[in-house]
Amino acid sequence: MKALAFNEFGGPDKLKLQDVPDPKITPNEVLVRVRACALNHLDLFVREGIPALKTPLPFWTGCDIAGEIAAVGAEVPGVKVGERVVVNPNLTCGRCEFCMQGEDSLCVKYGILGEHVPGGLAEYVAVRGDNVLPLPARISFEDAASFVLTNMTAWRMIVTQGQVRPGQDVLVIGVGGGVSSTAVQIARLAGARVIVTSSSDAKLERARALGADVGINYATSKDWARQVFEATGKRGVDLVIENVGAATWKDSIRSLKGGGRLVTCGATSGPIGETLIPLVFWKQVHIIGSTMANRKEFHDVMGQFFAGRLKAIVDEVVSLKDGAAAQQRLAEGKQFGKIVLTV
């Protein structure tokens, strides 16, 4: 089969559309003919090389996958060849204490499709049978692929970890990326008032179209955390959704009200942020980590999507062969929403 693979770590120029072996399925797996796969910053990190990750080469990434069932393992019930599906990218053991508690993303052997094993930037991918969800015919493969990982992540951050309530103020940092863009929708669905930040006025306008109430350009503001306070009547926000990291960390904490929550799922600008510890204990704020989502949260957020209450946010759709340029666009932060590759 064809895959957009890399044979050495580095920039987008290392990606090549090349022949790789077809995946073989086990009795509890299905083979998915990939039709669309969306990009994430994780694709860039893996391609550049993660020191703690022993990535076999050649390797191809791709977490957000939609396609059709091409083959079904002997022990997989209720799945048929030809069925349209969307893929849950969580890889779990199903046996540890966390899996038994329903907290899949805390699994002691946790992994992500496209990071720990080859992913969806290829014609076929093998996944566990219980990791596929039937895709309604009215939803395109491209929209489905664009939705999965970022919405799983944002749903857990806002609903589970952030415990958002109607009428609360939610600050979404760096709107334009996949998680931050969809966080606007989810926070609004929960009845919250949404404040967004970006370095781009155009992205702020698009965020307002999604339901954001206030937009702050941190590139032109000398003190955007102060603007957040002004926008909340000098109260601060109940919840900060943070995935930028070092560049915004200090001011994200400053933006919280007393007893507020900051939920983080990433650090695209760098892993080491400045924390004013007295601000944390004096305001009694909560700093909470969040990664992906558990199986229930995956089904909950996909149910909202299938019901039309959450929308896919697609920046552009390009062919797999143009994946290197697409990854460069993502690296430069030019996108709003998800870049989707068709296979």
DSSP state of 162: S
**pLDDT confidence of residue 104:** 92
Residues of the chain with CATH 3.40.50.720: 151-289
Low-confidence ranges of the chain (pLDDT < 70): none
Please give the helix or strand (H or E) that residue 19 lies within, else none: strand 15-19
**pLDDT confidence of residue 142:** 99
pTM: 0.95
| Count of C-beta atoms within a 10 Å radius of residue 325 | 13
Residues of the chain with CATH 3.90.180.10: 2-135+313-342
- 101-127 confidence digits (pLDDT tens): 999 999 999 999 999 999 999 999 999
Distance from first CA to last CA of the chain, Å, rounded? 11
Closest to 178 measured CA to CA, from 212, 162, 160, 154: 154
* CA-angle at 281, arms to 279 and 282, nearest 5°: 65
**pLDDT confidence of residue 120:** 99
**pLDDT confidence of residue 222:** 86
CATH number of 2-135+313-342, picked from 3.40.50.720, 3.90.180.10, 3.40.190.150, 1.10.10.10: 3.90.180.10
CATH architecture of 151-289: 3-Layer(aba) Sandwich (3.40)
For 231-248, give one letter per residue: b (16+ CB within 10 A) or e: bbeeebbbbbbbbbbebb
